[in-house]
């Protein structure tokens, strides 16, 4: 049957501006008539001439409204001359899996339906982001172009009678406006599992998890937090590596509301996992992922917490335990600006290039494409490598297990050894979620004003008997070393002369109000076994003093401490 597309008039919506990682709003907003349609049409328009005859990947974390959004994408893509969509079965694809698929199929890009670690379900968040040809999140230049288009959109193209099922794998071919339009529904995990098998030694990992003659099973508890990784955890950990479906994995069925939890792998929202690993001392390692599978949290026995900044440094220091890096070699390392500088010390020792980029994975892609970056991470529980162009939660856990198998040491011992060699970067992040936007903006303006004062550098601040002298203060900006693009206003940094830092940023992933992020870090060469909260207390007080955070936001306590 031949189908005909139509042009539907529409009017712009305010605020369709992608943030740190795509457009995120309440589900109810995406459900408004033409809201999703407008945004999808603008993504396709921003692709310009390359769109005609192109193939795109489509999938996401399966959160509420995903299926409706995919139906909209199918009908709009067909009407706009896209030749083919490759869709994950039931619409399920993790963010790293989308990145991998774009690369293996060498397609123009992918539309990812997720609001990542934000809660899902009808009362919560939905999100759409676009990944480009290299598999990475679209750069600012692209998302800015999409935003400009959303401000003046007047129509979108649509194929109303195109009914396409994506619950079963297989290929369907349609004729739309005299052209062929193909939808291929693929298994959500096949491609990703193949990639992981190329990177890691699955035989060795299986021996670790099952135990062999010389050592008992290494007892893991892998928590998908009801997000998309359940599909991949089942395939990789249970089916390939022989983990027990009853004792080694949990919350592995993706739910469209994540079981009403906040699918964010940190000490607050993954407390349930932390408590389990604390209570059951037979567990050697616990790990959790966010809704779309790009974040990871690692804890050791007795819930010994590994900060993401340390996790990155440890992996950097042990890349020789991973076959992929043995054969491909190791180029530079990178971290986002607020991430503690533990990995910088490893880079210096190994003689590798080190990059500091703004918050958001999109800033790593160019460096990887240019062959200058192998491994990178963010303090927000993101770790990844140049095997794809997204951070990758499951990859990070497999990397840790490879290191553990190779060194035959516990998580805690690996960290302790690392700190003995390099010293320790104490790090903590305070999040003040859903503050009033005006209040948060006023606080940032106050900070801008404060650091602009010529007398600020050199000023001293004292708290709890410790004194810090300001060495440098700025609003972080970045020039991409490859394409020279310039990004500014990426967070207020106050650097002290002993190497400690406090950083203030507003989140770019929330769907309502403002989230203030306060990042604190300091370096100790020898004193490496203190608790981070104790060690950083004076610096936290200094940060609260400089920012006047309590006065501006009315908040006595953060909502999340990492
Ligand atoms: C947060 C994190 C940032 C991360 C981004 C997307 O952004 O801080 O490091 O890249 O989320 O992660 P923001 O602007 O809220 O601080 V994901 O897993 O939510 O796509
Ligand atoms: Co995510």
pLDDT in tens, 145-175: 999 999 999 999 999 999 999 999 999 999 9
Percent of the chain with pLDDT over 70: 100
Identify the CA nearest to 115 among candidates 236, 57, 29: 29
CA of 464 to the centre of ligand 2 (A): 37
499 band by pLDDT with thresholds 50, 70 and 90: confident
pTM for the complete prediction? 0.93
Give the other-Cβ count within 10 Å of 9's Cβ. 9
Chain segment 301-341, per-residue pLDDT in tens = 999 999 999 999 999 999 999 999 999 999 999 999 999 99
- The fraction of the chain above a pLDDT of 90, given in percent, is 89
Distance CA(257)–CA(234), nearest Å, equals 20
- In sequence order, what are the beta bridge partners of 472? 495
Which residues' Cβ are closer than 6 Å to ligand 1? 20-21, 116-117, 290, 294-295, 336, 359-361, 378, 380, 382, 507-509, 517
Residues 370-396 have a mean pLDDT of: 97
Ligand 1 atom with the shortest distance to the CA of 295 = 18
Give the CA count within 13 Å in the CB-facing half-sphere of 253.
Answer: 2
Statement: residue 135 has pLDDT above 90 = yes
Q: Where are the beta strands (DSSP E) in 192-350?
A: 220-223, 249-250, 285-289, 296-300, 305-306, 332-336
Which element (helix H / strand E) includes 125? strand 125-131
As a whole number of angstroms, the distance between CA 562 and CA 274 comes to: 13
Q: Is the pLDDT assigned to residue 527 strictly greater than 90? A: no
CA distance 298 to 393: 10
Distance 459 CA to ligand 2 centre (A): 39
- The answer to whether 338 touches 519, Cβ cutoff 8 Å, is yes
Quick check: 28 and 63 in contact, CB under 8 A? Answer: no
Minimal-distance CA residue to ligand 1 atom 19: 116
In this prediction, residue 67 carries a pLDDT of 96
State in Å: Cα 174 to ligand 1 middle. Answer: 38
pLDDT computed for residue 19 by the predictor: 86
Task: Give the span between the Cα atoms of 423 and 44, in whole angstroms.
Answer: 49
How many C-beta atoms lie closer than 10 Å to residue 465's C-beta?
Answer: 6
Q: Which tens digit of pLDDT belongs to each residue from 423-481? A: 999 999 999 998 999 999 999 999 999 998 888 899 999 988 889 999 999 999 999 99
Ligand 1, atom 1, residue with closest C-alpha? 509
| Domains located in the chain, CATH noted | 2-188 (3.40.120.10), 191-422 (3.40.120.10), 424-561 (3.30.310.50)
Nearest CA to ligand 1 atom 6: 21
pLDDT band per the 50, 70, 90 thresholds, residue 378: very high
Scanning 423-531, the segments in alpha helix (DSSP H) are: 437-452
- The reported pLDDT for the residue numbered 373 is 97
- Taking only the tens place, the pLDDT of each residue in 185-209 is 999 999 999 999 999 999 999 999 9
Catalytic residue list: 116
Whether 276 has a pLDDT exceeding 80, the answer reads: yes
Per the document, the length of the chain is: 562
**Residue range 232-248, pLDDT digits in tens:** 999 999 999 999 999 99
For residues 21-39, average pLDDT: 96
Q: What is the 3-state secondary structure (H, E, C) of 402-428?
A: HHHHHHCCCHHHHHHHHHHHHCEEEEE
> Is 125:25 a contact under the CB 8 Å cutoff?
yes
Confidence of residue 132 (pLDDT cuts 50, 70, 90): very high
CA of 59 to the centre of ligand 1 (A): 19
Atom of ligand 1 at shortest distance to CA of 290? 18
**63-to-120, 127, 128, 186, 480 alpha-carbon distances in Å:** 6, 9, 11, 19, 34
Q: How far is CA 16 from CA 19, 50, 125, 152, 172, in A?
A: 9, 23, 14, 11, 32
Q: Which residue's CA is the closest to the ligand 1 atom numbered 17?
A: 116
């Amino acid at each position: 049957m031949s189908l005909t597309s139509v042009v539907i008039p529409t009017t712009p919506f305010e605020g369709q501006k992608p943030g740190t990682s795509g457009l995120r709003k309440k589900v109810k907003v995406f459900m408004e008539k033409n809201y999703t349609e407008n945004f999808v049409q603008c993504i396709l328009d921003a692709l310009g001439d390359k769109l005609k005859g192109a193939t795109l990947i489509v999938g996401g974390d399966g959160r509420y409204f995903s299926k409706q959004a995919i139906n909209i994408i199918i009908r709009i893509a067909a009407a706009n001359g896209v030749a083919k969509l490759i869709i994950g079965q039931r619409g399920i694809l993790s963010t790293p899996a989308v990145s991998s698929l774009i690369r293996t199929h060498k397609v123009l890009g992918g539309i990812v339906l997720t609001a990542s670690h934000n809660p899902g379900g009808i009362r919560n968040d939905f999100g759409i982001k676009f990944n480009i040809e290299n598999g990475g999140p679209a750069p600012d230049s692209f998302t800015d172009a999409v935003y400009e288009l959303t401000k003046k959109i007047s129509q979108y193209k649509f194929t109303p009678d195109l009914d396409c099922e994506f619950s079963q794998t297989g290929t369907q071919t349609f004729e739309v406006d005299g052209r062929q339009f193909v939808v291929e529904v693929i298994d959500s995990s096949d491609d990703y599992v193949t990639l992981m098998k190329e990177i890691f030694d699955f035989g060795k990992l299986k021996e670790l998890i099952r135990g062999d003659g010389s050592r008992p099973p290494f007892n893991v508890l892998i928590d998908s937090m009801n997000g998309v990784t359940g599909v991949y955890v089942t395939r990789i950990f249970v089916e390939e590596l022989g983990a027990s479906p009853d004792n080694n994995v949990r919350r592995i069925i993706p739910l469209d509301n994540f079981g009403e939890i906040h699918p964010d792998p940190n000490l607050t929202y993954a407390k349930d996992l932390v408590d389990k690993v604390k209570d059951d001392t037979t567990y050697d390692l616990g790990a959790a992922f966010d809704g779309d599978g790009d974040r990871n949290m690692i804890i050791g026995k007795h819930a010994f917490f590994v900060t993401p900044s340390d996790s990155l440094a440890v992996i950097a220091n042990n890349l020789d335990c991973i076959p992929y890096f043995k054969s491909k070699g190791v180029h530079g390392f990178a971290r986002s600006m607020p991430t503690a500088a533990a990995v910088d010390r490893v880079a210096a020792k190994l003689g590798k290039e080190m990059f500091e980029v703004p918050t958001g994975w999109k800033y790593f892609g160019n460096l990887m494409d240019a062959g200058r970056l192998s491994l990178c991470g963010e303090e927000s529980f993101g770790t990844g490598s140049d095997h794809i162009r997204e951070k990758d939660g499951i990859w990070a856990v497999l990397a840790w297990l490879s290191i553990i198998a190779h060194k035959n040491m516990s998580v805690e011992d690996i960290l302790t050894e690392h700190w003995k060699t390099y010293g320790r970067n104490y790090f903590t992040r305070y999040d003040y979620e859903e503050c009033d936007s005006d209040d948060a903006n006023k606080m940032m303006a106050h900070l801008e004003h404060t650091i602009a004062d010529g007398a600020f550098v050199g000023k001293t601040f004292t708290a709890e008997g410790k004194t810090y002298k300001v060495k440098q203060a700025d609003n972080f900006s970045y020039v991409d070393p490859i394409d020279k693009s310039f990004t500014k206003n990426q967070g207020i940094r106050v650097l002290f002369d002993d190497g400690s830092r406090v950083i203030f940023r507003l989140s770019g992933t929330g769907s309502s109000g403002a989230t203030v992020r306060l990042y604190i870090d300091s370096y100790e060469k020898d004193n490496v076994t203190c608790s981070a909260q104790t060690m950083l207390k004076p610096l936290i007080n200094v940060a609260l003093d400089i920012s006047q955070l309590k006065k501006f936001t009315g908040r006595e306590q953060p909502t999340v401490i990492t």
